[in-house]
Amino acid sequence: MSERVYNFSAGPAVLPEAVLAEAQRDLMALPGVGASVLEISHRSADFSAILAQTTADLRTLLNVPSGYQVLFLQGGSRLQFSMVPMNLLGEHGQTADYVLTGSWGKKALEEARREGKTQVAWDGAETGYDRLPSDEALALSDDAAYVHITTNETIEGVQFATEPEVGDRPLVADMSSDFLSRPIPVDRYGLIYACAQKNAGPAGVTVVIVRDDLLARAPDGLPGMLLYRNHAENNSCYNTPPTFGIYLVGLVAKWLLHEQGGLDGIDQRNRDKAALLYRVIDESNGFYRGHARPADRSLMNVTFRLPDADLEAQFLRQAKEHQLHALKGHRSVGGIRASIYNAMPPEGVDRLSSFMQEFAAQHGS
């Protein structure tokens, strides 16, 4: 096998080696099946068992209460940006409230505006999306159809540590980049969606967790594929689902449950990894400047700048020589971004923090 580097990509992102090894072992034929998981019908008993186990393991990991459906869809979060308002705004002229804490929330709002009445409940633009709102700062509609948040903004590197208080309005969360990275109280949410390619699996599969009562809201006439109800009623087999993606999400869930101590275990590892990098930033005498306000820092995406663009380019080049890859910040903001999702091993973060210290010592004033 080729040597593996430390891959800090923001997504698609590193997967657990144990998951890749099992997928590789069985790629020609699943044990006892005689065909690859890539080749079997989504309606076969073999795939149905994979789907059922994956669903059950996600329910266990997240402690999903009864009264919620777990769905596997396609189209990424981008399609959810549209499906959420199409299904939940209904036909009663209600308003959807959007809390904007970064680039992805803004894109979600942009799509929602095409579908119905929206309102910005808070916008962090003034300080460059470096912080989260207090509960008091949220201007919520009295009859909001839902309140939309992005739990972790990958580009700016800010993350909600707890749920904002929204009363009895359904809270809808784009959890794409911190799904399965920590325990969450699912019952605080009406709907959660997450593309898999950060913590949960490969690109091409999107997990949706939705409360039963919200399934009924959708107006008649939506395209069949965009109606959550159709997917719920057909156990994610309304059409052919992304079978291999679901299989990999299942392997990741199994790895979390049985090798990482569940979400409590992975949460502790994630906190330790992030603390290490933020400490290097905070102790660099200003050589590294974190983007997010310390209280609102993401445990998933550590974003920072160096004194100038030349040094950033040099940092990226030298990092690569240390097998530290994909550290470039998002093209819209520049700088450096270290994405340290569940599957980034502590050894990768150790190596990055050592490199950062050496680089600062060489180039700091």
Binders of its own copies among residues 28 to 47 (CB under 8 A) are 28-36, 38-44
Q: Which of 49, 93, 110, 234 binds its own copies (CB under 8 A)?
A: 110
Using CB under 8 A as the binding rule, whether residue 205 contacts its own copies is answered as yes
Q: What share of the chain is helix, strand, coil (3-state, %, to 5)?
A: 40, 15, 45
Stretch that binds its own copies, among 147-155, 235-243, 252-260, 296-304 (CB under 8 A): 235-243
From residue 87, give the alpha-carbon distance in Å to each of 1, 110, 212, 213.
46, 16, 12, 12
Q: How far is the CB of 89 from its own copies (least distance, A)?
A: 13
Q: Which of 48, 82, 103, 314 binds its own copies (CB under 8 A)?
A: 82
Query: Residue 174 catalytic?
Result: yes
If you ran DSSP here, which 8-state letter would residue 143 be given? Answer: T
**H-helix or E-strand spanning residue 339:** strand 336-339
Q: Which of 67, 240, 294, 346 binds its own copies (CB under 8 A)?
A: 240
Catalytic pick among 97, 174, 267, 296: 174
Q: How far is the CB of 110 from its own copies (least distance, A)?
A: 8
Using CB under 8 A as the binding rule, whether residue 10 contacts its own copies is answered as yes
From residue 78, give the alpha-carbon distance in Å to each of 25, 83, 211, 308.
33, 9, 21, 33
Residue reference for tokens 């068992």:
49
Q: Which of 65, 185, 224, 286 binds its own copies (CB under 8 A)?
A: 224
H/E/C letters for each residue in 215-231? Answer: HCCCCCCCCHHHCHHHH
User: CB-hemisphere CA count at 13 Å for 267?
Assistant: 11
Q: Which of 59, 325, 351, 363 binds its own copies (CB under 8 A)?
A: 325
Using CB under 8 A as the binding rule, whether residue 318 contacts its own copies is answered as no
Of residues 326 through 345, those in contact with its own copies by CB under 8 A are 326, 331
Query: Residue 173 forms beta bridges with which residues?
Result: 149, 192
The span from the first CA to the last CA of the chain, in angstroms, equals: 42
Q: How far is the CB of 95 from its own copies (least distance, A)?
A: 19
Query: Residue 198 catalytic?
Result: yes
Of residues 274 through 303, those in contact with its own copies by CB under 8 A are none
Using CB under 8 A as the binding rule, whether residue 63 contacts its own copies is answered as no
Catalytic pick among 57, 97, 104, 130: 104
Q: Which of 53, 60, 74, 119 binds its own copies (CB under 8 A)?
A: 74
Please, where are the H alpha helices in the chain?
A: 17-25, 45-62, 76-88, 103-115, 212-215, 228-233, 243-259, 262-282, 309-321, 346-363
Q: Give me the torsion for CA of 299, 305, 310, 312, rounded to 10°.
A: -10
Stretch that binds its own copies, among 125-133, 185-193, 265-273, 321-329 (CB under 8 A): 321-329
Give phi and psi for 193, each to the nearest 5. Answer: -130, 150
Nearer to its own copies, 5 or 311 (CB): 5
Dihedral sign of CA atoms 129, 132, 137, 138 in order: positive
Using CB under 8 A as the binding rule, whether residue 234 contacts its own copies is answered as no
Q: Number of H helices and number of E strands within the chain? A: 10, 14
List the x/- string, 160-199, binding to its own copies by CB under 8 A: -----------------------------------x-x--
Catalytic pick among 97, 106, 178, 198: 198
Q: Are 109 and 58 in contact (CB under 8 A)?
A: no
Nearer to its own copies, 40 or 100 (CB): 40
Q: Which of 203, 232, 311, 333 binds its own copies (CB under 8 A)?
A: 203
Catalytic residue set? 104, 174, 198
